[in-house]
Amino acid sequence: MNMSKNSDKNLIDNLESLGLNQKESLVYIDLLGKSVPVGSSKIVKSTGLHGQFVYDALYSLEEKGLVKHSVFKSRKKFEATALHRINDLIEEKRLVAEKTVEMLKVISKKPLGQEFEVYQGEAAYIQHQFEMLEKMSEGGEILIISTDWGELFTDKKYAFFSKYEKLRQEKNISIRFILNEGLREISQKAKKARYGTAYRFLPEHQSYSGMCVFEDLVDFYLIGSPIIVFAFKDEKISQGYRNFFEVLWGLAKE
Asked if 5-85 and 115-251 have one fold, the answer is: no
Nearest residue to 212 (alpha-carbon basis) of 162, 150, 163: 150
* CA angle (71, 77, 79) in 5-degree steps: 125
| pLDDT tens-place string over residues 113-148 | 568 888 888 888 888 888 898 888 999 999 998 877
**Cα distances (angstroms) measured from residue 223 to each of 45, 92, 147, 200, 220:** 59, 45, 9, 20, 10
* Cα–Cα distance for residue pair 151/196, rounded to 1 Å: 20
Q: What is the pLDDT of residue 30?
A: 92
* Cα–Cα distance for residue pair 193/164, rounded to 1 Å: 14
Cβ-contact 77, 70 below 8 angstroms: yes
| CATH topology for the 5-85 domain | Arc Repressor Mutant, subunit A (1.10.10)
Under 8 Å CB-to-CB from 10, ≥6 apart: which residues?
A: none
Give counts: helices (H), strands (E), the chain.
Answer: 9, 9
Q: What is the CATH number of domain 115-251?
A: 3.30.870.10
Q: Would you kindly state where each structural domain of the chain is located, as residue ranges?
A: 5-85, 115-251
* Cα–Cα distance for residue pair 102/47, rounded to 1 Å: 41
Instruction: Look at the pTM and tell me if it is higher than 0.85.
Output: no
Q: Is 173 left (phi over 0), alpha (psi -120 to 50) or beta?
A: beta
Low-confidence ranges of the chain (pLDDT < 50): 1-4
